[in-house]
Amino acid sequence: MPTPPPLPVELSISPFTTAEALVGGVPYARLRRRDLYAPFRGIRDRTPPTSQADRCRAYAPRLANGHAFCRESAAALWGMWLPHRVERDETVSVLAIAPARAPRMRGVRGFRSSSADLALIAGLPLTSPADTWCQLGQILALDELIAAGDSLVRRNRPLCSIEELGSAAARRAGARGIATVRRALPHVRSGCDSPRETRLRLILHRARLPEPEINPVVSAPGERVRYGDIVFREWSVIVEYDGSHHFTNPKQYAVDIARHEELARAGWTVIRVLAAHFEDPASIVERVERALSDNGWRRRPSRGQLLRATSRTR
């Protein structure tokens, strides 16, 4: 098969509409060649979209006035931590602000609202981080929504504050998914670096361990600044999640060894958690609880235990 004729330069760098191409003199037959992909009706691109954010960028030339990306599509553009099933979703979500009409097209979920808090990323209109998080209450499970919230108030380059999440939730009283949002909000914490850290924090929280600090400085004054993932400072215990990059990168692995030795010399007990450990959350809790107990922490009896103990002494 002969090589397809080249496209105009302006159509080779980003997705484009077939109408643009035809106006620019590109024959319709050229738009049907196999080197071009059609992610949406009337759209062509040189490469197929492989993520939710890619699909948003592919659909962007078709965005009408008064339209903006929302829900999981806006979340992907903001870089929020989303479960894989959402990232792989081949449909984009678009919000129409009245009087605009919601789009109706294969591969697009259309929504309509009288108003919305909007922003721009690389020229793409989308709902604000806090509003987007509240919208996710319709499609994410509780822990997934907590992780998405943590990603917005993360340690590096946070996109909003917990207070802004609360304000957005208050504005959406009665909206779909708001019950899940209200359950998730008290568990969102600032300072996390990854969804695995969030999951680890929730496992320890639900085991009724003390409330830790998230990624605080653990080095002494005058020393090189070092951080700990999950820190129980009062009992000198640090819980670290080690992702695969800690072991596949030899330099990072060497840095980790030296860091843990320095923390041990400073009196810290470091509990390291790997991805495989999440298959048995109880074992994680047991290791952390043992370290805390060895360093002086004592679990307080629950209200039920106190009542039972009182009844036995009567």
What are the extents of the domains in the chain?
Answer: 9-44, 52-187, 195-294
- Tell me, what's the pLDDT at 5? 76
Q: What is the mean pLDDT of residues 181-185?
A: 97
* Band of pLDDT at residue 126, cut at 50, 70 and 90: very high
Res 313 pLDDT > 80: no
* Band of pLDDT at residue 70, cut at 50, 70 and 90: very high
Q: What is the mean pLDDT of residues 109-128?
A: 93
Distances (CA, A) of 48 to 40, 103, 121, 161: 11, 22, 21, 35
Q: What is the mean pLDDT of residues 61-66?
A: 93
* Band of pLDDT at residue 306, cut at 50, 70 and 90: very low
Q: Which spans in the chain are helix H?
A: 18-23, 28-31, 52-59, 71-78, 84-87, 129-135, 142-152, 162-171, 178-184, 195-206, 245-248, 250-265, 281-294, 303-312
* Domain topology for 195-294: Endonuclease; Chain A (3.40.960)
Neighbours of 307 (CB within 10 A): 11
Res 73 pLDDT > 50: yes
* Band of pLDDT at residue 243, cut at 50, 70 and 90: confident
In the chain, what percentage of residues exceed pLDDT 90? 70
Q: What is the mean pLDDT of residues 173-191?
A: 94
Res 252 pLDDT > 80: no
- Tell me, what's the pLDDT at 251? 79
pTM, two decimal places = 0.87
Between 140 and 29, the more confident residue is 140
